[in-house]
Amino acid sequence: MATPGGRQGPRLNFGDALQEGWRAFSRSPAAFVGFPLVVVALQFLIQPLQSRISNGGVPSSDPLDWLLYLIGLTLNLILNLWCALGLVRGAGSALQGGRPTLGQLMRWDGPVFLRLLRAWLLLVAVVLVPLLGILVLVGGPLALLGIFADQLVPISRTLVEVLGLALAVVLFLALSVLLLGVIYLMINQSFLTQIVLFEHTAARATLLRGRALVDPSWLMVLLLTLIESLLLLLGLLACLVGSFVAWPLVVCIATAAYRQLVLASGDADPLPAPLNH
């Protein structure tokens, strides 16, 4: 795909990304597998906090149970972002020839964590704002029409039916366009964590950088994402144990692809020096 002006945009060779990602994972497999195990164990410990809101399928009426649920949900989010940062940090080091340890992957970095959290919140807002707009502007009138249809029928049954059908079509088309936009956004933000960690960007700059980096090779990144999803699925099918290998392996592959795109675009190598050899 060519960029404006006829200049060839950066291309992604996902075969190289797969090989480089596997080599990086192979440099420190114990640490890469151990960190997700630690995170899942911690998530297992806080699971009772989230299970209190339902008893036999009946929602709890105790506000304390809902407060504990929100605490558990927040802790899960923190653990997932912590793990994402640690695995990407380790992948970057391994791609540079290092052998990251479990302790290095688990290192807490508050400023980077906050940058990643803000980037994710902005990304969620980019999706939720138009979704809420569609539901309010189109879904709301459609719902009201359904509620008050009996009162409006005496005026004109045909008018009510045509109006309802028109609103339903508009709602369907709007949600379809939004879904396509979400798919596009998911792909061009595939390297959000890598950009936050290695390029030290703020939330808005991170999203813009992801778009600029991925758009010239969007279809190749889509194909890579499908391959990564297949690896994760195979990990799940391997009695769930394979997930602890597939998860960090996919992170290493994605980080290798990110580095490849950055170098192909003419920028300097974004990966820092290895944590150790």
- Please measure the distance between the N-terminal and C-terminal CA atoms of the chain and give it in whole angstroms: 38
Condensed to tens digits (0 to 9), the pLDDT of residues 113-124 reads 999 999 999 999
pTM: 0.87
Secondary structure letter of residue 107 according to DSSP = -
Segment 140-149 mean pLDDT: 78
Higher pLDDT, 49 or 277: 49
Please, where are the H alpha helices in 135-217? Answer: 140-147, 149-152, 157-188, 192-199, 203-214
Condensed to tens digits (0 to 9), the pLDDT of residues 162-213 reads 888 898 999 999 999 999 999 999 999 999 999 999 999 999 999 999 999 9
Taking a C-beta distance cutoff of 8 angstroms, is the pair 224, 14 a contact? yes
Q: Dihedrals φ, ψ of 97, to 5°?
A: 100, 5
